[in-house]
Chains A and B, each alone.
Chain A
Amino acid sequence: MYTYCANNPLIHIDPSGNIYLIAWSYGTKDVKEYEQYNEQYLANNLDIDITIDGKTDDWNEEIWDDFNQRSSFARAAYTRKKELLERGIPESDIEVQRIDSREDLKEVWEKWAEYDLVEGLDFYSHGYSGGPEVYRGSGNFWDSAQKLNWGSTLRNLIVNGKQIGYVNSPYAAFYGCNTANGEFAQNFADKQGVATFAQTDFSNFSRTTTYRSLIDTHDTSLDVYLLSFETMGLINKDGRGKIFIPQPK
């Protein structure tokens, strides 16, 4: 009896204590759009006067709380958390982190590097072929990102004594635009020794993962995904993205 996984070990996961990291960031464009959208709402309900300038310096806690719920990147991140919870991962093993700057990214990553076992990383942000970008740019962070203690080495998938592929756990997934189109994803996979997913085209928020279905922006509902839809910008053919396997040195 697999009591810990509702007698279904294929769907659910043993709560081993390994941590799943989910990070999200945003761009100046998103900040400005949020400020524009909420101008009236913020003025009337939050009793705060903010400038529509794409800068967060004048935001207070109430605004941040609201943004944490309305940002599409946050909604995608919390949708992922929901998925992991549904797969049987205990809430205490999932960490969702908002990244507000490159300095913030550095600090958070240093903290993550101290964790014993990281089983997965989902990174929701803008991006391009050079890699994922946090608010106001990632600088050269990705060139020198510390190695995380990934939960296990990449496992060979062996069937009848023959290696037919890889079991992609642990994993790192980057959902920003075009993150698969440069050297970033392969370099990350090699340096971190982890199967890495990245996007082969411009990413879009969608209600579903297989075909692109528009979301209500600035809403607070979940079931929001950020993926690239390769076929005519409508159909996603590669799931969480193109996979990059660490190459032997």
Chain B
Amino acid sequence: MVEGRYLSLNPNKVRKDENVKKIILTGITILLIIIIMWYYVYLLGIDTKYAIKFSQVFGSYNIKRVDQFLNKETAISYRGITKTYEQLRNNVMVAFEERRFKMSEGSSYGNGNNKFVNGVQEIQIQSYVIYDDISYSVPITMRLKIKGINKFMVKSLSSDAAFFGYLFYRESIKNDLD
């Protein structure tokens, strides 16, 4: 009896249903491939994005933007000394108030190797700053940690450049910022 029921099905309808299933499956597969590819490209560009963001954030003189860019526990290292951003936040605010430096948009850029080793990617940033009307190079190493699928936090920033010391540690700047 059961066989009879199946035999009574319209073969054209069965074929149509199968085609619809195939189309849906193909659509889902294509969508998945697109999402994976988009995510891959997104991850490839994240190092550059953060490198560029450095000058946008610090050039804005807006401490709130720095708060969003860094975390309280972000390690800031300068010539062998390491403190957290939370400990150094006030120094950054003083540097913003003094406004002796200018960091224009597009004056920082760089890249990593697109690999997150233990969830961390090291990014070499090349940035330039004008301090008292003279431009200097400020090379910075950023360690970016991936949290989950698309959340990132700046784990550490380090540099030996004198401007970096001025910005975070209130180091006095002499004739040569290098």
| A contact residues vs B (CB 8 Å cutoff) | 27-30, 32-33, 54, 126, 128-131, 133, 135-140, 177-178, 181-182, 202
Given known A-B contacts A128-B106, A130-B130, A182-B104, A138 and B139 have beta carbons under 8 A apart: no
Main secondary structure of the interface of B (DSSP, over half): strand
Could you tell me if B137 and A129 are in contact, using CB atoms closer than 8 angstroms? no
B137:A135 contact, CB within 8 angstroms: yes
A-B contact list, 9 entries, CB within 8 Å: A28-B126, A33-B124, A54-B139, A128-B104, A129-B104, A131-B135, A136-B178, A137-B128, A139-B136
Contact A32 B107 (CB under 8 A): no
Q: Report whether A128 and B136 are in contact in the complex, using a CB–CB cutoff of 8 Å.
A: no
Interface size on B, residues (CB 8 A): 20
The verdict on A138 contacting B135 (CB below 8 Å), with A29-B124, A130-B128, A133-B128 known, is yes
A130–chain B nearest beta-carbon distance, Å:
5
Residue numbers of B with Cβ under 8 A of A are: 52, 104-107, 109-110, 124-126, 128, 130, 133-137, 139, 177-178
* Pair B137/A136 contact, Cβ less than 8 Å: yes
- A129-B106 contact in complex given A136-B178, A140-B133, C-beta closer than 8 Å: yes
Q: Please name all residues of chain B whose beta carbon is closer than 8 Å to the beta carbon of A29 when the two chains form the complex.
A: 110, 124-126, 139
B135 touches A139 (CB 8 A): yes
A185 and B54 CA atoms in complex are apart in Å by 24
Please state if A137 and B109 are interface contacts (CB–CB under 8 Å). no
Nearest Cβ on chain A to B116's Cβ, whole angstroms: 17
Are B178's CB and A137's CB within 8 A?
Answer: yes
Do residues B104 and A130 form an inter-chain contact, with CB atoms below 8 A? yes
Top-9 shortest CB links A-B:
A28-B139, A128-B107, A137-B137, A178-B106, A137-B136, A29-B124, A29-B126, A27-B126, A140-B134
